[in-house]
Amino acid sequence: MNTLDSQNMDANDRRRLVSKKVCMIGAFSVGKSALVERFVRSIFSDRYLSTVGVKISKKNINLNGTDLTMVLWDMEGKDDFADVHMSYLRGAMGFFTVVDGTRKETLNMALHLRNLALETAGDIPHIVLINKSDLPDWEITDERLAELEASGIRVMKTSAKTGHAVEEAFLSLAEAMTKGQ
């Protein structure tokens, strides 16, 4: 990680360098950490710093010639998302709201949290991830998803387990965040 960092320092002088704070929110055990781990580890490291209620990891990607550092804030939320944690959303430039596709109630929680996040961080790019798509007992119907999309919410089905659509989701958010800069 040191080498990577010093590369960044060198790159400072030459290339376009952008950092983005991205938050993972969602009910307990929907797979937030698993998604981060899947995405981060697929390139360089599964290391993270865990501190007061948040795990911070990062991933460098190159997006159309821009070196983008995604600093991922993974909330270690419980079912009741305490106000304290909302302060982590401050300054977020994008976020994922994660839903466990096998537990309907986590979608309601996710939508609630999404509203809170938008209030706190402003109208920033975000995607709702319906995770655990590899599991059979799916509780969220496609009609419900279509409904959400119709209301302007971006939704993607992912699986942290198989890796399905994980990379796409993160890159897609990255793109949305860098658009118009």
Partner 1 sequence: MSDKALPAPPHTETEISTHDGDSDLRKLRELLFARETAQLQSLEKRLDNPVVHARDTSEVIAEALLLRAQKDDMLYIALEPLTEKLFKEALRKSPMDFVNALFPLMGPAIRQSVAETFHSMLESFHRTIELVFSWKSLRWRWEAMRTGTSFAEVVLLHTLVYRVDQIFFIHAETGLVLCHVYDEGVVIQDADMVSGMLTAIQNFARDSFAGGPESSLDSLRLGDLTILLERGSTAYLACAARGVVPPEFRERLRNTMAALQIKFSDELDSFSGEVEKFVSARGDLEDLLDVRYVDEDAPLPLWIKLMPVLILLLFIAGGGYFWHDRQQRYLAREAAQAYMEESLAQVGQEPGLLLIEIRQDSSGHWEVIYQKDPLARDPKPLLDAKGIDPKSYTLRVIPYVSYEADMVTQRVKNRITPPESVSMEFDKDGTLRLSGKASMGWILQARQEALALPGVEKVDTSGLADPRIEELKSMIALVEGTVVEFPLGKDIPVSEDVTKLARAMDTLVRIEKLAATMNVAVNLTIYGHADATGNDKRNYEISQERARTIAAMLYARGSSIPIALYGMGSEQSGGKDEVLPDFRESGARQAAARDDQSRRKVEFKVHIVQLPPDNSMLNILH
Q: How many residues bind partner 1 (CB under 8 A)?
A: 39
Between 33 and 158, CB nearer to Mg ion: 33
User: Cβ(121)–Cβ(86) under 8 Å?
Assistant: no
What x/- string results for residues 67 through 106 when contact with ligand GDP is judged by CB under 6 A?
-------------------------------x--------
Which of 90-98, 101-109, 111-119, 164-172 is the region at the interface with partner 1 (rule: CB under 8 A)? 90-98
**Residue 91 binds: one of Mg ion, ligand GDP, partner 1, none (C-beta under 5 to 8 A by kind):** partner 1
97: phi then psi, degrees, rounded to nearest 5: -105, 120
Between 68 and 165, CB nearer to ligand GDP: 165
C-alpha closest to that of 62 among 180, 181, 178: 178
**Residue 57 binds: one of ligand GDP, partner 1, Mg ion, none (C-beta under 5 to 8 A by kind):** partner 1
Least distance (Å) between residue 66 CB and partner 1: 9
CA distance to 51, 95, 130, per residue, from 180 (Å): 33, 18, 27
**Residue 25 binds: one of Mg ion, ligand GDP, partner 1, none (C-beta under 5 to 8 A by kind):** none
CB-based contacts of 114: which residues, under 8 Å, 6+ apart? 25, 97, 126, 128, 153
Between 33 and 57, CB nearer to Mg ion: 33
CB-based contacts of 125: which residues, under 8 Å, 6+ apart? 93, 94, 173, 176, 177, 179
User: Cβ(71)–Cβ(59) under 8 Å?
Assistant: no
Distance, in Å, from the CA atom of 175 to the CA atom of 181, rounded to the nearest integer, reads: 11
Between 124 and 127, CB nearer to partner 1: 124
